[in-house]
């Protein structure tokens, strides 16, 4: 498929073209940068919802119910399930996400599992790029689900307008476990599996945690099994979008800054890998002062690298 045709079909929300575009970006295939450069400016209005929480909290089941509710509203939806390691076959869905597939035949629902490409420090650059591809295709709701472990849980704030943390009633000291950062970035808390009992206590625990900070977060109880609380949760997300519009705008500005930083970092890393002089500096460093070596590399990059020295 030619790039011009791919772009045209992508803007028409063609799922095949969208899938091809994502694969092109994920695998850094020829002309992927031209593709990304051509999708701007992007349509306005897409809401990006990040969903995080410990493994086993029922994130995927909750998303399946959210998709059903959003479909009933006539929304065009995309789900990105971020996996911690590279997929073996084009981003196949993990087993616990298979239940979402019942929606995949709907032309208004696009579901994709993407690899984190080993970015243990957070979400990869391609996550940002794929979200922009989804926006270019006209998706109105983009749900990003993280796997539930690692720094990517905190980094979700750099791609999502609103962050949901999913907890269980019987999660014990989970609030304390997440105290070091993950819980602080959540905008809405969801006590899932409320049918197990004890959800009221967990709701109180969450509210008490934030009492001293003066924050009063939105907290919802849901039961996927009993199909309860989903409508209220979706209404709460819209309420947050409306009431916190200024905050969302500020978050989006920070997201753009983070996005640009990741692009620059990738370009610098590529330059370091392909510049023979810089590669030699790194390899010959051994026990040398790493700061002095870094200064030399920075100077080379700033002045055009060794490529200009050859001309």
Please determine, for residue 256, whether its predicted confidence score (pLDDT) is greater than 60: yes
Give the confidence band of 184 by pLDDT, cuts at 50, 70, 90.
confident
CA distances from 162 to 147, 156, 188, 234 (A): 17, 9, 8, 12
Q: Are 144 and 131 in contact (CB under 8 A)?
A: yes
pLDDT at residue 91, as a whole number: 41
User: What's the predicted TM-score (pTM) here?
Assistant: 0.87
The mean per-residue pLDDT over the stretch 43-69 comes to 90
The mean per-residue pLDDT over the stretch 247-260 comes to 94
pLDDT at residue 236, as a whole number: 96
Quick: pLDDT tens for 95-151.
445 566 667 678 889 999 887 654 444 578 889 999 999 999 999 999 999 876 555
Q: Per-residue DSSP letters for 191-226?
A: E--GGGS-HHHHHHHHHHHTTTTT---EEEE-BTTT
Instruction: Establish whether the linkage from the previous residue to 132 is cis, with ω within 30° of 0.
Output: no
**Rg over CA atoms, the chain:** 22
Q: Are 205 and 231 in contact (CB under 8 A)?
A: no
Please determine, for residue 90, whether its predicted confidence score (pLDDT) is greater than 50: no
Name the CATH superfamily for 41-244.
Answer: P-loop containing nucleotide triphosphate hydrolases (3.40.50.300)
pLDDT at residue 106, as a whole number: 81
When mean pLDDT is compared across 116-120, 174-178, 276-280, the lowest value belongs to 116-120
pLDDT at residue 305, as a whole number: 62
pLDDT at residue 4, as a whole number: 94
Percent of the chain's residues with pLDDT above 70: 82
Give the confidence band of 178 by pLDDT, cuts at 50, 70, 90.
low
What residue segments make up the domains of the chain, in order of their start?
41-244, 258-310
Please determine, for residue 2, whether its predicted confidence score (pLDDT) is greater than 50: yes
Please give the Cα distance from 145 to 133 (Å, whole number): 17
Please determine, for residue 86, whether its predicted confidence score (pLDDT) is greater than 50: no
Q: Identify each DSSP E strand in 60-154 by its residue range.
A: 77-83, 109-115, 141-145
């Amino acid at each position: 498929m030619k790039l011009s045709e791919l772009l045209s079909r992508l803007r028409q929300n063609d799922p095949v073209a969208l899938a091809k575009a994502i694969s092109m970006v994920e695998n850094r295939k020829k002309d992927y940068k031209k593709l990304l450069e051509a999708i701007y400016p992007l349509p306005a209005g897409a809401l990006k919802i990040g969903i995080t929480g410990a493994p086993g909290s029922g994130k995927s089941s909750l998303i399946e119910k959210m998709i059903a509710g959003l479909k009933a509203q006539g929304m065009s939806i995309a789900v990105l399930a971020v996996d911690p390691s590279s997929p073996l076959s084009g981003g196949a869905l993990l087993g616990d996400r298979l239940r979402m597939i019942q929606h995949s035949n709907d032309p208004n629902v696009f579901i994709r599992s993407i690899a984190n490409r080993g970015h243990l420090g957070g979400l990869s650059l391609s996550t940002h790029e794929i979200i922009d591809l989804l926006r270019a295709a006209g998706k109105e709701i983009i749900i990003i689900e993280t796997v539930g472990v690692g720094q990517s849980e905190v980094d979700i704030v750099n791609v999502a307008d609103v962050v949901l943390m999913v907890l269980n009633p019987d999660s014990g000291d989970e609030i304390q476990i997440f105290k070091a950062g993950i819980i602080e970035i959540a905008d809405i808390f969801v006590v899932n599996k409320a049918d197990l009992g004890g959800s009221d206590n967990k709701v109180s625990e969450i509210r008490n945690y934030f009492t001293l900070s003066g924050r009063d977060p939105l907290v919802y109880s849901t039961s996927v099994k009993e199909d309860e609380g989903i409508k209220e949760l979706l209404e709460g997300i819209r309420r947050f979008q409306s009431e916190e519009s200024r905050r969302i705008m500020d978050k989006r500005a920070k997201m753009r800054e983070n996005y640009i930083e990741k692009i620059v970092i990738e370009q610098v890393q590529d330059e370091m890998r392909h510049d023979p002089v810089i590669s030699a500096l790194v390899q010959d460093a051994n026990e040398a002062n790493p700061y002095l070596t870094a200064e030399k590399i920075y100077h080379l990059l700033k002045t055009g690298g060794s490529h200009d020295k050859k001309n």
